[in-house]
């Protein structure tokens, strides 16, 4: 897509993380793992846990696969860090979360509070008749076991579910299952025998069989403006880059009229509000925002496509037919009219770096590294 956009971060900035070694620090133990690209004589991990002091905590080897390890006590919440290999500061290549510290991109993890238990979704299985989720329970630091009578599954309104069955299958495992039709999202709560409750976990149960494994699903991608209006088929836009007038209600009508029979997933183009008018591309042609990739608002649906209620109606209609809905999002750039573009820290490029869409930095070759 061409036109006026402001890029906020380099596209490669979504790399990241793992953990390491003995230190006399408060918090819960976290394991850092790092495999050097070549032969590294000294690798350390530094971070918020000890105010980024150097030298950091040394990572030790001993594994045949080349991974180095350190165990570090971390306080609960977001913890930033980097690896330093023979003096070179390196992002964690395993965990895909990064942030910034004093202008430098660093890795981060959300460290759990080991003073309370936790529960995580391990797997969800689906068939035409039944959906089952398995959750694993991790005790608090005290080691107190799961209390079976504490297990509660709640509906969205907070009421205890009358249709989702529960079972504690061991000291550290919980199973919930649902026989029925359509998507069901529930909240699972559990505590240990000392009465400390884990953070609730949301689980989606969907016994639909067809398309349960997305690798075997038929995914239908829809450019909403180009698809269908509330009244039916669209006329050609006035220009190839102009708007055609497709809407969310048009997509819903197509679904309800049977035009998408056999589709397991519909993937909608970005719905954020986009600018009016046309903008000159770097090829001299004029382009509009029909595609949705020039957001000017973070949490508003483009009124030309529909309303929040229109989107809810489409999703409800899809779910009642066992069709999933995927929303395309634009995480790495905004249009120049977006409020974010006027805030400090956002940039259209970095001197000496590859800027997306310029003559020397085309999108196709450089999309994973350009600004």
107 beta partners: 81, 98
On the question of a cis peptide bond just before residue 55, with omega within 30 degrees of 0, the verdict is yes
Helix or strand run (H / E) with residue 339: none
**Residue among 5, 8, 70, 67 at smallest CA distance from 343:** 8
- Please tell me the predicted confidence (pLDDT) of residue 212: 53
Question: DSSP letters along 118-165, please?
Answer: EEEEEEEEE-SS-EEEEEEEE--TT-PPB-GGG-EEE-TTSPBPSSEE
The contacts found for 300-305 with CB under 8 angstroms, 24 or more apart, are 300/272, 300/273, 301/248, 301/271, 301/272, 301/273, 302/271, 302/272, 302/273, 302/274, 303/273, 304/225, 304/243, 304/245, 304/247, 305/224, 305/225, 305/246, 305/247, 305/248, 305/271
Instruction: Write the CA distances from 189 to 47, 147, 159, 184, 209, integer angstroms.
Output: 33, 11, 12, 16, 27
Contacts 24+ apart (CB under 8 A), 274-282: 274/302, 274/335, 275/335, 275/337, 278/241, 278/242, 279/3, 279/4, 280/3, 281/2, 281/3, 282/2, 282/357, 282/358, 282/359
Q: Whole-model pTM above 0.85?
A: no
Query: Tens digit of pLDDT per residue, the chain (371 long)?
Result: 444 444 444 433 333 333 333 333 456 889 999 999 888 789 999 999 999 999 999 999 878 899 999 999 999 999 999 999 999 999 999 998 999 899 899 999 999 888 899 999 999 888 878 999 999 999 998 899 999 999 999 998 899 999 999 999 888 999 999 998 778 889 999 999 999 999 999 999 988 755 456 777 899 999 999 999 999 999 999 988 999 999 999 999 999 999 999 898 999 999 999 999 999 887 888 999 999 999 999 999 999 999 999 999 999 999 888 898 999 999 888 898 999 888 866 667 677 888 888 888 888 888 877 88
Give CA torsion, residues 204, 206, 210, 212, to 10 deg: 30
- Report how far apart, in Å, the C-alpha atoms of 353 and of each of 347, 349, 361 are: 12, 7, 9
């Amino acid at each position: 897509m061409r036109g006026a956009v402001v890029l906020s971060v380099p596209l490669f900035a979504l790399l990241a993380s793992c953990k390491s070694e003995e230190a006399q620090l408060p918090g819960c133990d976290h394991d850092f793992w790092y495999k050097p690209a070549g032969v590294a004589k000294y690798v350390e991990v530094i971070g918020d846990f000890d105010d980024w002091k150097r030298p950091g905590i040394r990572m030790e080897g001993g594994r045949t696969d080349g991974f180095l390890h350190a165990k570090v006590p971390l306080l609960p919440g977001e913890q930033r860090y980097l690896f330093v290999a023979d003096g070179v500061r390196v992002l964690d290549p395993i965990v895909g979360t990064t942030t910034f510290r004093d202008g430098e991109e660093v890795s981060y993890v959300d460290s759990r509070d080991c003073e309370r238990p936790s529960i995580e979704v391990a797997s969800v299985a689906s068939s035409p008749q039944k959906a089952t989720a398995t959750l694993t329970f991790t005790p608090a630091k005290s080691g107190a076991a799961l209390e079976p009578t504490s297990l509660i599954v709640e509906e969205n309104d907070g009421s205890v579910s009358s249709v989702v069955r529960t079972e504690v299958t061991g000291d550290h495992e919980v199973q919930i299952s649902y026989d029925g039709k359509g998507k069901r999202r529930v909240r699972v709560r559990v505590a240990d025998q000392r009465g400390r409750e884990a953070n609730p976990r949301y689980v989606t149960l969907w016994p639909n069989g067809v398309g349960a494994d997305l690798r075997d699903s038929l995914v239908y991608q829809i450019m909403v403006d180009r698809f269908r209006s509330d009244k039916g088929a669209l006329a050609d836009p006035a220009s190839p880059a102009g708007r055609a007038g497709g809407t969310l209600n048009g997509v819903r009508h197509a679904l309800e009229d049977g035009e998408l029979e056999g589709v397991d997933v519909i993937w909608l183009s970005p719905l954020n509000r986009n600018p009016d008018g046309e903008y000159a591309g770097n090829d001299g042609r004029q382009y509009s925002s029909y595609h949705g990739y020039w957001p000017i608002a973070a949490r508003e649906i483009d009124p030309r496509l529909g309303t929040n209620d229109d989107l809810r109606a489409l999703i409800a209609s899809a779910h009642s037919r066992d069709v999933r809905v995927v929303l395309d999002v634009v995480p790495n750039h905004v249009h120049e009219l977006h409020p974010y573009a006027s805030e400090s820290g956002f940039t259209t490029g970095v001197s000496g770096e590859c800027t997306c869409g310029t003559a020397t930095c085309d999108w196709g070759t450089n999309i994973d590294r350009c600004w």
